Structure 1
């Protein structure tokens, strides 16, 4: 059996034995007892590790003492067809082995092209350990040696939920901002760099200052929604990238850990590069994909494992050519499959175990190659290397692993609990052992793990209680060191407090992270609220925790249910908890938000009648104590549920009441449910007016909504308004000459929805595109789009008020194509569904 164990001196006051303990040891012993003489049995984890190298017979599941469920057992029957890691890789269809000179030449060529004013983007893609980070490092060092400015940012595995983390890092490097800089110094550095480029940046400075946590109290940025803020930052980015007179190299590491907001920012950066003198170098694992990879100024290097000749050259440099090491390169190549990191770590392990003696380029093998035992995976190799460290070095390495792939020495000193001299001695030893390397010295020493897997294994090799203690110390130290930008760092602090087992602190920081990002990224805010709710709920009946859980329930109900397409079960659970807590604390406003959130969720899941009835229930709760945002929320629901019920004459005055409540404030409703209530009301007024026969009036109002959304940069509201253009195609006799092209409008709405990550907006835009295709006579496209959108909204449980209309479009498309056999069942399904649930879309021709 294979797995992790606890190894050490274990016993009591009378006897202490150095031994291994844990479930892995016990299951291995039971595998031995199950096997009859002259046979070998393997557990499923071990079988997976050796699959292909050996022939195995699956014996099925056996009851095993100490396990709740039976364990699958395999018998070893012989030698398998595969001999090396390369054989396994080839069987899985991976790329061939190549060297690195050609890869460096490709990046150099891109740099020359970028330096000439034709900016380039280079992506290095490879599995973990294949050498992508090393390749990028070597190129960056060449650039630095030539005096070329280099800026770097690193995405972190725990940073996928921390908006802008790598982008803030790379642009702090661009502006020369250090952790020691106070807000005034930060502002001076930003202003100095930007105004030197272009005096016109002056008007954008307040927004840039705020983004870097250094807002100027005497000149704050004007109020704006998240999309406007994002668009303005994109504008600054484009002007900065294209305004540089000298060549610049920017490097982003590990894109597979990017947060969604940084992904969007990176997409804009890629587009901006074309017009400047920048080389943007990125690396990522094969699972990362992005639309910008189709750009003509992007080139990709698929980094293959090293071939036998390259491995031999690498080992000649490391080991030398003593006769005792003859054949060792071939054995290592077989076991590592050409992965250069694994190869180097195998050699380091042999050196540290004493099996190799000497110095670099002049080693002797003490034991024969036949007797050499090389760990089967890099994880076990790294674990064994870490275990062989002296206690002080192991302690420091494990403490550093808690901080992440890169870390600053002062923060490590705060959690390692060692005298400074001992800490620095341990760091020097870890550098010599090539566990860590020094990334920078000024303004403070910063270190990085040689490979992410080293950090992951060092983290996992600690007992849970010690990990918790270190995470708590890290959180406390970060709260002190990041006091000037705690909002920006809230998600990171929540991560450390949660890993420390301190749910209360983690929940508080998740709330702060949700509040901070709300105006920038509604969906990310929802995810923080979901985690805050889970943490607060786990704290029991404590009043503070319960109030935090109530706040999270109301935020999720309003921002999340319909947008993300949360499951009915999850929304039912959130609603039940939220209602109980709102009643406990006599919180009428929260109760209204939760009731209305549940009602909307039912509506977008297709239960139109419940949506209408429950909105009326929420409306009855409104009294003088309820604020404008909550009144607006319910009023909007009153209007839209009436539309969904097909009660258009009832809906129109409710829509206009919504507009009257919102007034001239286009941001009204934005903080509560994430889009402009005013623009929504103008849009719906136009659509309903047109449906009631006032086509010219309706078109003008939809056009007005589009103009308002574009002018204010309200992205989701713009998507809604554009989607309504396609709906006009469902109205007999609608004159659409004054509206944008319906298919172009629907495609733009789809792009907006995908950028925002809103499942509901995606469903609405697909619905609109189906009608637009139908009106254009593109019947095949109409049937396909309607089918894809139906599958999407059913999978995501949102936008299902459009289900009848989509079924109808598919049916009509098949009629137009002369396929009555396919059309009739769809029409019947549409009719059945429409009759079961009142739906305005019944009138589209089912």
Structure 2
């Protein structure tokens, strides 16, 4: 038996022994070892099945059939194969669908955890600082247990529990998973994901198609591919981690181009000037952003949102300096200083300066 198995396990044979061909005796020996390993086993679990190629999957079914032939006296153990949706090879996916269609297998798709379950899971970890982050963690990870635990681990390792006030970081292991998923997309689907990541809260299917300048039917096919890969769910990203992964892998030139295109599209849809301005800034055009930032700041100040107005005026100052308009920047700084005047709360600020 050892000599027969030596082509697969060299240490079982003699040193420097010639390699034999993979003949029927080897297959019979592998089947025998497989049967011994499953003796008295009730449930066999195969994890990370996505890493198996089609030949390995087919060989596994053949070995299983040889160990437990139909009509045999031994009971057949249950087999649970786990894999992430959208990450199987096309051949592996087709083989699984065939087994399901023939009644030989049942496909069970696990749903994401909702916010209440995320809160319970976070509570079970007994890390007090995590309690306040539960809603953000649920949105950020989309309720994916692996992504949730990896994000928490990353926050703890980087001591980010006390400083996680802005966007949560993309954990490296989750980034690797999402990057592989994105690499499997067609070019049109990848561009649709990039447009959605740039638009973020502003996006819808129609806006993504408009930003890309793509026909609706072509965009619909790309969208269907994103949903099949669990990148999108209905008309939104499946979780915020998708935004992070798409942005991390997007070339800077493409990102600037999409932001400028998004600014034009949103302007045509009468989007709030502050949102449009931020796209112009990200697109590398501070000159177009400055007047929109001033408009948004004046509106915020007039309605008593002074902190927001202050932030917008600061952005406008930076934008004007970037364009070389030092005088305009100084006028905006004076206007910004007037936010602390008593009349600011009653909307009595002077009009914004022309730029």
* TM-score of the superposed pair, with normalisation by structure 1: 0.23
> Is residue 473 from structure 1 mapped to residue 256 from structure 2 by the alignment?
no
How far, CA to CA, are the matches of 2:48 and 2:182 in structure 1? 24
| Aligned positions of 1:647-796 closer than 5 A | 671-672=348-349
Name stretches of at least 5 consecutive residues in structure 2 with no aligned partner: 1-41, 52-81, 108-170, 351-355
| Residue 338 of structure 2 is aligned to residue 558 of structure 1 | yes
1:358-377 equivalences under 5 Å are 358-359=96-97, 362=106, 377=173
Partner residue, 2:278: 495
Distance in 1 (CA, whole Å) between partners of 2:290 and 2:199 is 20
- C-alpha distance in 1, partners of 2:44/2:292? 55
**Residue 242 of structure 2: aligned partner:** 454
> Mind listing any 5+ residue stretches in structure 1 that lack a counterpart?
1-322, 333-344, 364-374, 439-446, 561-632, 637-665, 674-846
Q: Give the match's secondary structure for 1:513.
A: helix
CA contact (8 A) 1:346 1:381 kept: no
* Separation in 1, partners of 2:252, 2:276: 19
The one of 88, 112, 125 equivalent to 1:351 is: 88
Distance 1:547 1:435, change over 3 A: same
* 1:507-522 equivalence runs, <5 A: 507-520=290-303, 521-522=305-306
Correspondence 1:415 to 2:195: no
Contact 2:306 2:339 in 1 (8 A): yes
How far did residue 389 of structure 1 move? 0.6
Aligned Cα root-mean-square deviation (Å):
3.5
Say whether the 8 Å CA contact 1:472–1:500 is kept in structure 2. yes
Residue 327 of structure 1: how far off its partner (Å)? 4.2
Distance 1:352 1:327, change over 3 A: closer
Cα shift at 1:466: 0.8
User: Deviation digits for residues 766-797 of structure 1, max 9, x if unmatched?
Assistant: xxxxxxxxxxxxxxxxxxxxxxxxxxxxxxxx
Q: What aligned pairs does 1:313-462 form with structure 2 within 5 A after superposition? A: 326-328=45-47, 347-352=84-89, 357-359=95-97, 362=106, 377-405=173-201, 407-438=203-234, 447-462=235-250
Q: State the distance in 2 between where 1:668 and 1:417 align.
A: 44
User: Which residues of 2 match residues 219-230 of structure 1 at below 5 A?
Assistant: none
2:114 paired residue number = none
**How much does 1:420 deviate?**
2.2
Aligned pairs (5 A) from 1:81-480: 326-328=45-47, 347-352=84-89, 357-359=95-97, 362=106, 377-405=173-201, 407-438=203-234, 447-480=235-268
Distance 1:392 1:670 in 2: 48
Task: Give the C-alpha shift of residue 324 in structure 1.
Answer: 11
CA distance in 1, matches of 2:198, 2:44: 38
Change in CA separation of 1:667 and 1:350 when aligned onto 2, cut-off 3 Å = closer
- Choose which of 321, 332, 349 in structure 2 pairs with 1:537: 321
Go from structure 1 to structure 2 and tell me whether the alpha carbon gap of 1:524 and 1:452 turns closer, same or farther (over 3 Å shift). Answer: same
Contact 1:406–1:448 at 8 Å: present in 2 too? no
Bigger relative contact order, structure 1 or 2 (CA pairs below 8 A, ≥6 apart): 2
Task: Decide whether the 8 Å contact of 2:301 with 2:345 is kept in 1.
Answer: no
Separation in 1, partners of 2:285, 2:44:
52
CA distance in 2, matches of 1:324, 1:417: 52
Between the aligned partners of 2:263 and 2:331, the Cα distance in structure 1 is 24
**2:137 maps to what in 1?**
none
Task: Tell me how far apart the structure 1 counterparts of residues 187 and 243 of structure 2 sit (CA, whole Å).
Answer: 17
Distance 1:393 1:495 in 2: 25
Alpha-carbon distance between aligned partners in 1 of 2:85 and 2:202, rounded to the nearest angstrom: 22
Which stretches of structure 1, 4 residues or more, deviate above 6 A after TM superposition?
A: 666-669
Q: Secondary structure at 2:348's aligned position in 1?
A: helix
Query: C-alpha displacement at 1:379, in angstroms?
Result: 1.4
**Rounded Cα–Cα distance in structure 2 between residues aligned with 1:376 and 1:362:** 33
CA 1:557–1:327: 2 relative to 1, 3 Å:
same
1:437 Cα deviation after fit: 2.1
Would you say the 8 A contact 1:497–1:506 is kept in 2? Answer: yes
Larger Rg computed on CA atoms:
1
2:326 corresponds to: 546
Is residue 536–residue 546 contact of structure 1 (8 Å, CA) maintained in 2?
A: yes
SS at match of 2:84: helix
| Superposition deviation, residue 558 in structure 1 | 2.7
Structure-2 change in CA distance of 1:667 and 1:347 (3 Å): closer
Kept in 2, the 8 Å contact 1:537–1:546? The answer is yes
Number of matched pairs: 208
TM-score (norm 2): 0.51
Counterpart-to-counterpart distance in 1, 2:333 and 2:292? 16
Asked if structure 1 preserves the Cα contact closer than 8 Å seen for 2:86 and 2:230, the reply is no
Structure with more of its chain in strand, by fraction:
1
